[in-house]
Amino acid sequence: MLLAVPSTTTAQQCDCAAPVLPVRWSVFASVAGAGMQTATINAHLAPQGYFALSSDAVGFSLGGFTSFGPLRLGVEHVRLDAGEESTPGGRSARLEARYSMFTVGWDLRPRGRLSIAPTLGVGRGSYVVTVGDRSGTAVAPSPPPTFDEILADPGRSSRIGGAQWVFEPMLAADLLVVRSERAGRGITLGLRAGYRVAPNRPDWEYRGKAAAGGPVDQAKGPILRLTFGVGGR
């Protein structure tokens, strides 16, 4: 009498391509498009013979994050540049913003192929106006000049910076591109979309001293960043 015994086989591991996996950490660089406020700055510049500054900026940043389950913690340093405007008479003005921030987010799909996380960035930075006149002389730093006095006599180059707090609520999405399911590291591709909030007006300074009468414009505005880097899980 024969007893039929079903044969057992061990499932083989498939080393198939799996191009998208959840990101657990990433170090990245980014390029961005962003907006900033410039209306009252331009109201100060126009009477002094400067061209208006653009409110549209390009941005660059370096950053990174790590995940603990769905919790994501990171840091990022961002620079925004709205470009320079020069007049035929030799006057120039440039607008920039720089800030560093700490980010915290919560991954909605910690086990999914695509990592999506509402994120909040909190940091400190500066809103910087650089003005110049190829034939002018710089205003004396003592007594401290007003914002408009600096614009009137900027010399070859005068930098006026306004420190401020920055908050960035955003939605972050990240992919980890790897060669196979077993690979633990690869290339990261990401997107950040949100809005930059700067609740306090800049405290303008010129050569380390307060510059009174400055504009109330801020570095707040929409943000859209594309990130490229390396990461793992």
Angle (CA) 122-195-32 rounded to 5° is: 95
158/224 Cα distance (integer angstroms): 30
Evaluate whether 172 touches 117 at the Cβ level (below 8 Å). Answer: yes
Evaluate whether 218 touches 18 at the Cβ level (below 8 Å). Answer: no
pLDDT of residue 20: 57
pLDDT of residue 69: 84
Which amino acid is it at 218? Answer: Q
Q: Is 143 exposed, middle or buried (0-12, 13-18, 19+ CB in 10 A)?
A: exposed
Evaluate whether 201 touches 164 at the Cβ level (below 8 Å). Answer: yes
Angle (CA) 130-93-224 rounded to 5° is: 85
pLDDT, averaged in runs of 10, over the chain (233 residues): 44 49 83 94 95 95 92 95 94 96 92 85 94 84 88 93 93 87 81 93 89 91 95 82
pLDDT of residue 5: 43
How many Cβ atoms are within 10 Å of 102's Cβ, its own excluded?
13
CA dihedral 167, 173, 179, 181 (to 10 degrees): 110
Q: Is 61 exposed, middle or buried (0-12, 13-18, 19+ CB in 10 A)?
A: buried
| Residue among 2, 20, 56 at smallest CA distance from 189 | 20
How many Cβ atoms are within 10 Å of 55's Cβ, its own excluded?
17
CATH number listed for the domain at residues 25-232? 2.40.160.20
pLDDT of residue 228: 96
On whether the pTM is more than 0.75, the answer is yes
